[in-house]
Amino acid sequence: MKTTVAIAIATAALALTLWAGPVRASDRPNVVLMLADNLGFGDLSVYNGGTRGGFRTPNIDSLAAEGLRLTQFLVEPGCTPSRAALQTGQYSIRNGMSLIIAPGASGGLQDDDITLGELFKSVGYDTTYVGKWHLGPQPVSQPQNQGFDQWLVGFAGTTDSSTYGDNLRALGMGQDMVDAFGARIIEARGPGEAAFVRPYDSDYRKQIEGDIAAAASGYIRQQAETDTPFFLMIGWTRPHFPNDTADEFVGLSGAGKYGDSVMELDLRTGEILAAIEDAGLRDRTIVIWLSDNGATVTATAIDEVHAGDNGPFRGELGDAYEGSIRTAGMIRWPGEIEPRVSNEMFAIHDFFPTLAAIIGAELPDDRPIDGVDQTGFLLGASETSARDSLITFIGDRIAAVRWRQFRMYPFEIGVSDTNPAVGGYMGVKTETAGFPQIYNIEADPKERVNLAHAGAGWAVALYLQTIQQYLATLVEYPNPPAPNVTDFR
C-alpha cells in the first residue's frame, strides 16, 4: 500500500506565522498550477520585452504583472526530471527519473513516492490532473494512483508520441506497439487502470490544447459550486515539437510553427484565467504558471526552423547550462503575494514544501526533501530567497552545481558534428582534465569566460561542499539505479 501522508491541520499560531488567512478546509486557497512544455526564457513577451515582432503573449503577460514574476526560476534539464522534482520536492535522481522517460522505456513514480496530489488530498482537497504527465507509463505511476482524483485528456508519454504512433502504423506495427509508445489519449476517474479514449495522432495534436483547456475550465466551474478547496494541475503540451496548431493559429505569429504554438498556449491560458474569474474564484485561488525546462535550439524539423529562445543564456533542453534550466515562472495570489519582479533563486523543487506550508500539510519525514520552504519570500516576510544552491543531474552524473551566482560543471556538453548539428540530450559530453569549469552567471550570462584559473578557484570549495552535503544524504537514503539508455552493463 502507498505510504500514507500524515494529515496535519495547522494550529492557529502556525497559520499566522505562515499565512494570515484562516485554516478551515473550506477557507484554504484553491491552487491552479499550469506547466508549459519546453518553453524557453525568451519565448514570452513579458520576458523578452516584446522583441519578437507579432509573437506576443498578452494573457500570460497579464498574469505575470498581477503576481510574482521570477527571473531566476530554475528547473531540471528535461520533461520527466522537472515533473518528478515538482511532484516530489526531491532531486529527480532520488526517484530514478533523472533522464526523460523514452518511448517504450519503463520507470516512473512508484507506490511509495509522495506527490503534490497526495499532499493536497491529505488536508481535504479535491484534486484533478489534466493533460501531459510523463512520469511513467504504468498505472502505478499515473495521476489517478498518485493522489489525483481524476486524470482528464491524459497521455502518459512525451508530446511527440503523436508522431511515433503515425510512424509505427506506417511501418505496419500493431496497436499494442503503438500503445506501448504512449500514442493514445486516456482518462481515469478514480484509482486503477485508465480507460482508452482515442488515438493520439497528428490530427489530434492540433486539437489537444483546446481540449485540455476545456476540461480544466469545466472542472473549475464545477468546483465553484462546492465548498471544497481544489488543486488543479494542467500539463500543457505546447510548445513541444511537433507544433502543429489549431487552424486559427497557423501563421499568426510570423515566427513559424513554434511561435504559433506559443500564441495558442497563451490563448488557452487565458481561457483558464477567465474560467477562474467567471466562477468568482480569483481572490481565493493561487495561480502558478511555469515551464518545465528550456527550449530546444539546435535541432528542429525542417518546417520548424524558427525554434525556441532561451534568452541571454547558453544551453538548451537536455544539457545542464543556464538556458536549459532557467525559464519562466510566476505566481499570483491576490491580497497575499505582492505583484513584483524578483531575481531571487527559486527552484521547481521548492513548490512541494512551500505549498505544504501554505495549506497546512505535513511533509514526509522518511526521505530527504531537496526543495526549501519559500513561504516567507513569497509573502514578503523576507526579501531574499531561502535557496542559494542547486545541483543538476543528467542520468547518473552530477552535471552542474549552482552556488549563488556561480555555475560549476564537472564536464561539458557540446553540439554534435552531425548534419544537422544537435545539442542537449542529443549532444556530446567532454570530460575536463580534473577540475570543474566555473562561470559567474550574473556577469557572464552566456558563460563565455571560465573563471577556474582566473581568480575564482576558491569557488571549488563551495562546489565540493554542496556536493558533499548531498552525498551525505545517500548514506541513509540511497538512490535507486539512475536511468540509462546507452550503457547496459
| Boundaries of every domain in the chain | 28-388, 390-473
Beta strands 397-403 and 406-409 are: antiparallel
Name residue 341's beta-bridge partners: 69
Q: Do domains 28-388 and 390-473 have the same CATH topology?
A: no
Residues annotated as catalytic (active site), given as ranges: 79, 134
Amino acid at residue number 123: V
Q: Which architecture, in CATH terms, is 390-473?
A: 2-Layer Sandwich (3.30)
The predicted pLDDT at position 180 comes to 66
CATH fold for the domain made of 28-388: Alkaline Phosphatase, subunit A (3.40.720)
Query: CB of 9 within 8 A of CB of 360?
Result: yes
pLDDT reported for residue 9 = 30
- Give me the residues of the chain with pLDDT under 70, please: 1-26, 179-182, 299-303, 305-306, 419
Q: Quick one: pLDDT at residue 478?
A: 97
- Sequence-distant (6+) residues with CB within 8 A of 179 are none
DSSP-assigned beta bridge partners for residue 330: 69, 289
Q: What is the pLDDT of residue 2?
A: 56
What dihedral do alpha carbons 64, 241, 423, 316 form, nearest 10°? Answer: 0
Rounded to the nearest 10 degrees, the angle between the axes of helix 58-65 and helix 256-278 is 50
Predicted structure pTM score = 0.93
Torsion-angle region of 247 (φ positive above 0: left; ψ -120 to 50: alpha; else: beta): alpha
Do 341 and 26 form a contact (C-beta atoms < 8 A)? no
Q: Report the candidate in 133, 148, 190, 143 with the shortest Cα–Cα distance to residue 31.
A: 148
**Which pLDDT value is given to residue 301?**
64
DSSP collapsed to 3 states, the chain = CCCCCCCCCCCHHHHHHHCCCCCCHHHCCEEEEEEECCCCCCCCHHHHCCCCCCCCCHHHHHHHHCCEEEEEEECCCCHHHHHHHHHHCCCHHHHCCCCCCCCCCCCCCCCCCCCHHHHHHCCCCEEEEEEECCCCCCHHHCHHHCCCCEEEEEECCCCCHHHHHHHHHHCCCCHHHHHHCCCEEEEEECCCCCEEEEECCHHHHCCHHHHHHHHHHHHHHHHCCCCCCEEEEEECCCCCCCCCCCHHHCCCCCCHHHHHHHHHHHHHHHHHHHHHHHCCCHHHEEEEEEECCCCCCCCCCHHHCCCCCCCCCCCCCCCCCHHHHEEEEEEECCCCCCCEEECCCEEHHHHHHHHHHHHCCCCCCCCCCCCCCCHHHHCCCCCCCCCCEEEEEECCEEEEEEECCEEEECEEEECCCCCCCCCHHHCEEEECCCCCEEEECCCCCCCCCCCCCCCCCCHHHHHHHHHHHHHHHCCCCCCCCCCCCCCCC
